[in-house]
Amino acid sequence: MKEIFVIILSAMLIDNFVLSKFMGICSFLGVSKKINSAVGMGAAVVFVMVCATLVTFPVYTLLLEPNGLEYLRTLAFILIIALFVQLVEIVLKKIVPPLYKALGVYLPLITTNCAILGVTLINIDKELSFGGAVANAFGGGLGFTLALLLFSGVRSRMETCNVPETFKGVPITLIAASIVSLSFMGFAGML
């Protein structure tokens, strides 16, 4: 139990996918404009990460590894991730249409969100157990949500700031993102 907790915490804070590993920057910058859509996107990413791990882990350990097909894991994982993203899209469209609209193009973009593929591959590389892999995915997803939430707060503050003409728009956003990322470096070596 303690191990699982450690894995979740480290995936969330120390090895935060966005702020320490710099994965999934596209959706990080794209959806962090509003807190509502940031929460929605985060939830979708957590769901896809956990589900993808639930399937990719057994597929790798039971199907690919025993047959010496490790080299095909990226292909298999992307297929599975794409499947879950499609599922999330179909379900969201039916159940929460406003969220579906708010996420817009970033929802199908989860497919190409490298944080998802990253988490499934890291699970394998770290040689985690099944429970550990799911915990890692869950923690990674939570970390992604946390990063989005924190950054949407920063951005909503920036809306009211008098930004110099040269830095308006993307430049100041990237600078702010790097400062938030810098603050997360403080967690390094905590565990």
Partner 1 sequence: MFQTYILPIIIFAVLGVAAGVLLTVASKVFAVKTDERLDELNEALPQINCGSCGYSGCGDYASAILNGAPTNMCKPGGDKASQKISEIMGVEFADVTEEVAFVRCAGTCNTTTWKYNYDGVQTCKASNRFYNGSKTCTSGCLGFGDCVRTCPNDAISIKDGIAVVDPSVCVGCSMCVKECPNNLITMKPATQKIDVVCMSTALGKVTKAICKSGCIGCKICEKKCPSEAIKVENNFATIDYSKCTQCGICAESCPVGAIQKA
Beta carbon of residue 80, minimum distance to partner 1 (angstroms, whole number): 7
Taking the least distance from each CB to partner 1, the nearer of 30 and 153 is: 30
Site string for partner 1, 125-164 (x = CB under 8 A): ----------------------------------------
Is residue 35 within 8 Å of 149, Cβ to Cβ? yes
User: Which amino acid is it at 147?
Assistant: A
Taking the least distance from each CB to partner 1, the nearer of 58 and 186 is: 58
Taking the least distance from each CB to partner 1, the nearer of 104 and 186 is: 104
> How many positions of this chain bind partner 1 (CB under 8 A)?
21
Taking the least distance from each CB to partner 1, the nearer of 92 and 115 is: 92
Site string for partner 1, 60-99 (x = CB under 8 A): ---xx--xxx--x--xx--xx-xx--xx--xx-xxx-x--
Beta carbon of residue 72, minimum distance to partner 1 (angstroms, whole number): 6
Q: CB under 8 Å to 13, separation ≥6 — which residues?
A: 143, 146, 184, 187, 190
Taking the least distance from each CB to partner 1, the nearer of 82 and 114 is: 82
Binding site for partner 1 (CB under 8 A): 59, 63-64, 67-69, 72, 75-76, 79-80, 82-83, 86-87, 90-91, 93-95, 97
